[in-house]
Amino acid sequence: MPDTTKGKPVRKTKKRLPRSAYSREELVEIFSRFRQERPAPKGELMHVNPFTLVVAVALSAQATDIGVNRATKDLFKVADTPQKMLALGEEKVGEHIRTIGLWRNKARNVIALSRKLVDDFGGEVPQTREELVTLPGVGRKTANVVLSMAFGIPTMAVDTHILRLGNRMRLAPAKTPDDVETILMRIIPEEFLYHAHHWLILHGRYTCVARKPRCEACIIADLCKSREKTCDIPAPIVPIVDQEIPI
């Protein structure tokens, strides 16, 4: 039965989100160029299976991918399953990841999520967002990365780069990561959705950087509607076929 106030039905209104500044035609052109530049974009966290991906993404909070890759290079050689991670123990995990921020809490979470995977999921990484976010240290962004990279499910993992791009470019002008995610999932043409979060993250990491965007190196400078941009001439598209993982 519907909720009522003084005998009158109360209808729940759907949250109105800001509109993107781009038309469908402009979005197709933007992501077509991203695809030409990076035909097969990859995440920059090293991993060997879904479990090590979950651990790597959880460790990346308030840390750089390079820092995480350096910390996990040897860790994943000896503990690439939840069972092996539990056998290693919190103290030894901490020794491996001591160089990254909040390492004590993260070591504790790695052991806790490993234990939950063994106890509740038979040692396998679950393939739904609802189950993934029950793992210690795993939030919506981490779950979205895992769904996309490990299981091929199109998602939008909104990190600081995508949150910045969404607002600076007026692509998805919203205050929260969840709202930016909702807008992007709604406006990005389906043919580009699977790789879209990688294209946006890499664009934000190397071109539309936080302190001062490198507009002269931007392949979508003519299409960008940022009020901060300093150039209207797009850079030439140079395909990046072999993407290096930083370490």
Whether the pLDDT of residue 1 is over 50: the answer is no
| 212 noted as active-site residue | no
pLDDT score of 10: 52
Q: Which residues contact 52 (CB under 8 A, 6 or more apart)?
A: 46, 72, 76, 80
pTM for the predicted model, two decimal places:
0.85
Confidence of residue 8 (pLDDT cuts 50, 70, 90): low
Residue spans per domain, the chain: 24-42+154-217, 50-151
Mean pLDDT of 222-234: 96
Domain 24-42+154-217 sits in CATH 1.10.1670.10: yes
Total length of the chain: 247
Which amino acid would we find at residue 106? K
Mean pLDDT of 63-82: 95
CA distance 136 to 114: 9
Nearest to 162 by CA among 137, 138, 188: 188
**Choice among 65, 73, 77, 141 that is catalytic:** 141
Higher pLDDT pick, 93 / 7: 93
| 159 noted as active-site residue | yes
Q: Which CATH number fits domain 50-151: 1.10.3720.10, 3.40.50.12780, 1.10.150.110, 1.10.340.30?
A: 1.10.340.30
User: Which secondary-structure segment (H or E) carries 154?
Assistant: none
Whether the pLDDT of residue 3 is over 90: the answer is no
pLDDT score of 72: 96
Confidence of residue 125 (pLDDT cuts 50, 70, 90): very high
pLDDT in tens, 176-186: 999 999 999 99
Task: Calculate what percentage of the chain has a pLDDT beyond 90.
Answer: 87
pLDDT in tens, 83-96: 999 999 999 999 99
Exposed, middle or buried, 20 (CB in 10 Å: 0-12/13-18/19+)?
buried
CA distance 64 to 204: 14
- In this chain, the answer to whether the domains covering 24-42+154-217 and 50-151 adopt an identical fold is no
Exposed, middle or buried, 157 (CB in 10 Å: 0-12/13-18/19+)?
buried
Mean pLDDT of 6-33: 83
**Choice among 159, 178, 212, 242 that is catalytic:** 159
CA distance 199 to 32: 11
